Structures are given as C-alpha cells and as structure tokens.
C-alpha cells in the first residue's frame, strides 16, 4: 500500500476536511503538523517539485507574515520565497497531501481525491 502523507494544520477546517476524505476512502495517512515541525528547505523544494508549481504558488498571501516578510515584492527570487516559508511556516498553503509519489493542495479538500 502506498504511503500517504498530509501536511496538516488541525485548526484549519480545509485541512480537517481533507484528512476526513482520506480516512473515508480507507487511507490512514502519516500526519505532519508542519506548524509544530516545519519542513526543511530540501523537503519544501521537493514538495514544490511534486506539486509542479512555483514556490510563490504555495504562499498564503492573506497572512500578516506575508507582508512582514516583504513577499508582496514580486522581484524576490524563489530562494527568498522558500526561506520565508521556512521562517514562517504559517505561510505554507494547506493541506498538502502526498500519495503514491504525487502531491495535491487540498483547496478545495476534494482535490486530494485526484491522488487516489
């Protein structure tokens, strides 16, 4: 059975819904509470590659830390964006599910079902 991992924030309703969808489909994922245990730079780069997006596409732009980190400056390169997400893991969009070597952002939560 493929390993499934969810980058989860239990306080987020979308994250809880995505986790429930996985469980309803018979999948018990490994849960990584990324706010308590933030990803490393390498782990974040791998996630971005699996998602097939740019680092900026993984940002939560409405968080206070977005402006604090100067991320509204579109001239910042990918390295600066990744470093900001490491410094402020709250900026990482959630939930992210990895299943069978593929990844999806669970916004809306039903998108995680595309992996099954």
Find the helix or strand (DSSP H, E) in which 8 lies.
strand 4-8
Residue 64: pLDDT band (50, 70, 90) is: very high
**pLDDT averaged over every residue in the chain:** 95
Q: What is the pLDDT of residue 2?
A: 59
Find the helix or strand (DSSP H, E) in which 47 lies.
helix 41-51
What pTM value is reported for the model?
A: 0.93
Average pLDDT over residues 11-36: 97
Half-sphere CA count of 51, side-chain side, radius 13 A = 26
DSSP 6: E
Find the helix or strand (DSSP H, E) in which 24 lies.
helix 13-24
Domain boundaries of the chain, sorted by first residue: 4-115
Kindly name the residue from 12, 53, 86, 113 that is annotated as catalytic. Answer: 12
4-115 classified as CATH 3.40.50.300: no
Average pLDDT over residues 8-25: 97
Quick check: is 103 catalytic?
A: no
């Amino acid at each position: 059975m493929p390993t499934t991992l969810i980058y989860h924030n239990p306080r987020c309703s979308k994250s809880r819904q995505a986790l429930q969808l996985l469980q309803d489909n018979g999948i018990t994922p490994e849960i990584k509470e990324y706010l308590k245990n933030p990803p490393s730079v390498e782990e974040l780069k791998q996630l971005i590659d699996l998602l097939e997006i740019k680092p900026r596409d993984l940002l939560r732009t409405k968080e206070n830390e977005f402006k604090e980190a100067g991320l509204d400056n579109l001239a910042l390169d990918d390295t600066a964006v990744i470093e900001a997400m490491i410094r402020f893991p709250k900026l990482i969009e959630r939930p992210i599910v990895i299943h069978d070597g593929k990844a999806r952002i669970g916004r809306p939560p039903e998108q995680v079902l595309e992996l099954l």
